[in-house]
């Protein structure tokens, strides 16, 4: 916006210090900061309002039309690229031959074995979780049993 470097800002600060004085300088900088903030907010709101007005009037559609008219080669190439990607994807699917029965049986066997192992792992995790919960329950029960004994011992010591 304003092409100010460090040396210019330093010069402005020194002049402001001399003119305004060190006592009133912080208040002046706060006022300038508030003014700049309000100006930025108003500029942002104005820009947003102009964009909304352009969108409502259909300017974005016109802009897209002009861009495509200005570069028809790019538009045509994008359409060609989409078409070739679709054809390549279809050819890739069609080019994969089905597995022969022996390989299909081996693949099914592998899938079954991996599902079996996954179920076994989940069952082992569930058992470990139940064991941990049971251990926590027994520890709570042991702590609860010790609490009355400690209270009774403390009562005997006081009497």
Which tokens belong to 7?
């040396």
Predicted local distance difference test score (pLDDT) of residue 127: 95
> What distance in Å separates the CA atoms of residue 119 and residue 111, rounded to the nearest whole number?
12
Give the pLDDT band (50/70/90) at residue 140.
confident
16: nearest Cα among 26, 25, 3:
25
Predicted local distance difference test score (pLDDT) of residue 85: 87
As a whole number, mean pLDDT of residues 103-111 equals: 90
Give the pLDDT band (50/70/90) at residue 5.
confident
H or E element: which one contains 100? Answer: none
Residues 52-97 have pLDDT tens digits of 887 787 777 777 777 777 777 777 788 888 888 888 887 777 777 7
As a whole number, mean pLDDT of residues 117-131 equals: 95
**Of residues 74 and 121, which shows the higher confidence score?**
121
Does the pLDDT value for residue 156 go beyond 60? no
Does the pLDDT value for residue 113 go beyond 90? yes
Mutual angle of helices 72-95 and 59-70, in 10-degree steps: 80
Does the pLDDT value for residue 107 go beyond 80? yes
């Amino acid at each position: 916006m304003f092409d100010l470097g460090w040396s210019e800002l330093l010069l402005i600060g020194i002049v402001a210090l001399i003119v305004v004085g060190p006592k009133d300088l912080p208040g002046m900088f706060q006022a300038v900061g508030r003014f700049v903030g309000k100006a930025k907010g108003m500029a942002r709101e104005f820009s947003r309002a102009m964009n909304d007005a352009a969108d409502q009037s259909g300017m974005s559609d016109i802009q897209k039309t002009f861009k495509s008219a200005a570069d028809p080669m790019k538009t045509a190439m994008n359409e060609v690229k989409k078409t070739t990607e679709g054809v390549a994807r279809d050819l890739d699917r069609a080019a994969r031959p089905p597995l022969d029965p022996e390989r299909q049986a081996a693949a099914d066997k592998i899938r079954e074995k991996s599902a079996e192992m996954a179920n076994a792992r989940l069952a082992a995790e569930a058992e470990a979780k139940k064991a941990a919960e049971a251990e926590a329950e027994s520890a709570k029960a042991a702590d609860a049993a010790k609490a009355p004994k400690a209270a009774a011992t403390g009562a005997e010591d006081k009497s």
